[in-house]
């Protein structure tokens, strides 16, 4: 928050010839100073949190056991590197059944009579419904909400495709029964529906088995279990399965995934331990480029733009100062813990230095910080102490002393620093200004 203009400040040493004055023998003590040209910087302070470039949680795609763990906690891994393998007999069995069903569907249509079309059609529908129900139940076990929703969307899309093919087959069967169409046409339509259903079931089962080998979707540092932050990213069945164990992901679209036990509980899955679909196994954190997520009050956010420089102080590193630059400002607001409206400002975090000008330690994601955003600067500005400015009749003003008498001068304030404020008009360099006791001065009052 920016300091308000009526806060009494003491830093007037940068002005020329600060003096004390009085108003009569019994008048209050006043402090005068001369308006002068100085550089001034307006700074907005905001609480912030250190963020990682990306984080991706790898979850078990099916029920089973953790067969092998090929990395250790804290190990740096490359994108695409195999991190763990899940053994799931149920997933392997579903793949074998789907493969057999696909082979049978490809052979279907040979020697089928008109009387068996209806029963064959019903059998195909029943098998399809069971396959889609199984896929939907498996998807609902995924802990990551975005991953779960995308898988359910994929299953729904496959079911719609089958329904369209099934309607075509049903029309052909009814046509045969009415003697309008040939038997071969009905058999062909029914076989196409069976093949489509079998192929989709096989693809889903194959993708699940492939995902049993967990690969790093991004380069970074490994830690066991999941994260406690909400999120999840990537869209489409192929991309989501790659997030669980494939390659080809864009790290820029990854975000922390949901998961993990309460604080104080080790969520590491040991080799041989049981896992269910959606159990967080490992999380890869990309710390190659740290950032900051700041909460800026609505009264200040309009001054914050991309490219604004900032300095950062961390609670964990006393005396250190880090450089940062604003990357973006969110359009939609969030509600702060105090109940006000704030906007998230995202910054790139640079290097830091200690008081002895030595390199500061590298922060860790999640650390608390205070960001000092330098939103406006004026190099050669007419300035007065911030304590000299007061509000009167809805306008900013200062007391200017001329010929020993105080006169109220309306001013336009520009850049507002913590100690000094820029005066755009109403005051000239060298003018004597009341900088203490302004609330006790009257217009025309004699000041000695």
Ordered DSSP codes for 91-126: HHHHHHHHHHHHHHHHHTTTT--GGGHHHHHHHHHH
* Pair type for strands 64-69 and 36-51: unpaired
What is the reported pLDDT for 17? 43
d(CA 308, CA 300): 13
> In percent, how much of the chain has pLDDT > 70?
71
The DSSP element (H or E) to which 140 belongs, if any, is: helix 117-140
* Pair type for strands 291-297 and 341-353: antiparallel
Calculate the alpha carbon distances from 40 to 92, 416, 419, 420 in Å: 69, 7, 9, 7
pLDDT for 340 beyond 60: yes
Q: Which of 93-107, 162-176, 205-219 has the highest mean pLDDT?
A: 205-219
What is the reported pLDDT for 233? 32
Report, in this order, helix, strand and coil percent for the chain, each rounded to 5: 30, 35, 35
Does residue 217 contact residue 77 with C-beta atoms inside 8 Å?
no
- 125 or 356, which is more confident: 356
Helices (H), ranges, 11-88? none
- How confident is the model over 97-119, as a mean pLDDT? 63
Specify the CATH architecture of the domain 16-40+378-440: Beta Barrel (2.40)
What is the reported pLDDT for 173? 56
Closest CA to 315 of 264, 366, 274, 278: 366
- How confident is the model over 84-100, as a mean pLDDT? 86
Mean pLDDT rounded to a whole number for the chain: 77
Closest CA to 218 of 239, 202, 196: 239
pLDDT for 260 beyond 60: no
Please tell me whether residue 137 adopts helix, strand or coil conformation: helix
d(CA 6, CA 143): 52
Question: In 187-338, at which residue ranges do the beta strands (DSSP E only) sit?
Answer: 213-215, 220-224, 274-275, 280-286, 291-297, 309-314, 317-329, 334-335
What is the reported pLDDT for 248? 35
Question: Two tokens at 259?
Answer: 């998961």
Phi, psi of 257 (to 5 degrees): -105, 160
Question: Two tokens at 332?
Answer: 């939609």
What is the reported pLDDT for 378? 92
Question: Two tokens at 379?
Answer: 């190099």
pLDDT for 204 beyond 60: yes
What is the reported pLDDT for 448? 73
For the full predicted model, state whether its pTM sits above 0.75.
no
Burial pattern 10-41, b for ≥16 Cβ within 10 A else e, equals: eebeebeeeeebebeeebeebbbbbbbebebb
- 372 or 197, which is more confident: 372
Residue tagged 């200017």 (tokens): 400
Closest CA to 62 of 255, 182, 206: 206
What is the reported pLDDT for 193? 65
Burial class (CB in 10 A: 0-12, 13-18, 19+), 97: middle
Among 152-156, 285-289, 307-311, 386-390, name the one with the lowest average pLDDT. 152-156
d(CA 284, CA 52): 11
Give 321's contacts (C-beta < 8 A, 6+ positions apart): 311, 312, 313, 352, 353, 360
Give Cα 426 distance to the centre of its chain: 46
- How confident is the model over 269-286, as a mean pLDDT? 88
Confidence of residue 259 (pLDDT cuts 50, 70, 90): very low
What is the reported pLDDT for 210? 85
Give 78's contacts (C-beta < 8 A, 6+ positions apart): 216, 219
Sign of the CA dihedral 84, 89, 95, 96? positive
What is the reported pLDDT for 438? 85
Q: Which of 85-89, 147-151, 255-259 has the highest mean pLDDT?
A: 85-89
Question: Two tokens at 40?
Answer: 């001034």
Domain definitions of the chain by residue range: 16-40+378-440, 46-51+288-377, 56-88+212-284, 94-202
Among 9-23, 44-58, 389-403, 419-433, name the one with the lowest average pLDDT. 9-23
**The domain made up of 56-88+212-284 is a member of CATH 3.40.228.10:** no
What is the reported pLDDT for 356? 81
Q: Which residues pair with 8 in a beta bridge?
A: none
To the nearest 10°, the Cα dihedral for 276, 281, 284, 285? 90
d(CA 417, CA 38): 11
Q: Which of 114-118, 235-239, 310-314, 390-394 has the highest mean pLDDT?
A: 310-314
Question: Two tokens at 221?
Answer: 């540092």
Which class in CATH covers the domain with range 46-51+288-377? Answer: mainly beta
- How confident is the model over 381-408, as a mean pLDDT? 91
Closest CA to 138 of 214, 233, 203, 208: 208
What is the reported pLDDT for 335? 77
Phi-psi region of 21 (alpha: psi -120 to 50; beta: other; left: phi over 0): beta
């Amino acid at each position: 928050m920016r300091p308000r203009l009526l806060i009494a400040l003491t830093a007037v040493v940068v002005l020329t010839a600060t003096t004390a004055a009085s108003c009569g023998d019994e008048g209050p003590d006043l402090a005068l100073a001369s308006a002068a040209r100085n550089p001034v910087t307006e700074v907005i302070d905001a609480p912030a949190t250190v963020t990682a470039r990306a984080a991706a949680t790898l979850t078990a795609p099916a029920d089973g056991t953790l067969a092998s763990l090929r990395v250790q906690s804290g190990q740096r891994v490359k994108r695409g590197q195999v991190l763990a393998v899940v053994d799931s007999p149920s997933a392997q069995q579903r793949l074998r059944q789907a493969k057999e069903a696909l082979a049978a569907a490809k052979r279907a249509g040979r020697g089928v009579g008109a009387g068996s079309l209806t029963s064959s059609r019903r059998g195909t529908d029943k098998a399809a419904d069971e396959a889609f129900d199984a896929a939907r139940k498996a998807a609902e076990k995924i802990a990551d909400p975005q991953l779960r929703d995308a898988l359910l969307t994929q299953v729904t899309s496959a079911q719609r495709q089958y329904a369209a093919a099934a309607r075509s087959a049903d029309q052909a069967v009814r046509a045969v029964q009415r003697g309008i169409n040939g038997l071969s046409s009905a058999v062909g339509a029914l076989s196409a529906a069976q093949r489509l259903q079998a192929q989709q079931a096989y693809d889903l089962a194959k993708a699940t088995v492939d995902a049993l080998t967990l690969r790093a979707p991004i380069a970074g540092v490994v830690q066991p279990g999941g994260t406690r932050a909400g999120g999840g990213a990537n869209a489409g069945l192929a991309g989501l399965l790659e997030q669980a164990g494939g390659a080809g992901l864009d790290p820029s679209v990854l975000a922390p995934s949901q998961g993990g036990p309460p604080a104080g509980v080790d969520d590491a899955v040991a080799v041989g331990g049981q896992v269910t679909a959606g159990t967080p196994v490992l999380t890869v954190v990309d710390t190659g480029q740290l950032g900051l997520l700041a909460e800026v009050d609505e009264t200040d956010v309009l001054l914050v733009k991309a490219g604004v420089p900032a300095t950062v102080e961390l609670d964990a590193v006393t005396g250190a100062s880090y450089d940062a630059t604003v990357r973006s400002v969110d359009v939609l607001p969030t509600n702060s813990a105090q109940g006000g409206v704030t906007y998230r400002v995202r910054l790139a975090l640079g290097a830091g230095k200690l008081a002895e000008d030595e390199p500061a330690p590298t922060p860790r994601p999640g650390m608390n910080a205070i960001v000092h955003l330098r939103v406006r600067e004026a190099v050669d500005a007419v300035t007065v102490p911030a304590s000299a400015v007061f509000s009167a009749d809805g306008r900013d003003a200062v007391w200017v002393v001329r010929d020993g008498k105080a006169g109220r001068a309306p001013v336009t304030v520009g850049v507002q620093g913590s100690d000094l404020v820029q005066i755009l008009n109403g005051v000239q360099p060298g003018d004597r200004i009341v900088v203490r006791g302004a609330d006790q001065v009257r217009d025309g009052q004699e000041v000695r």
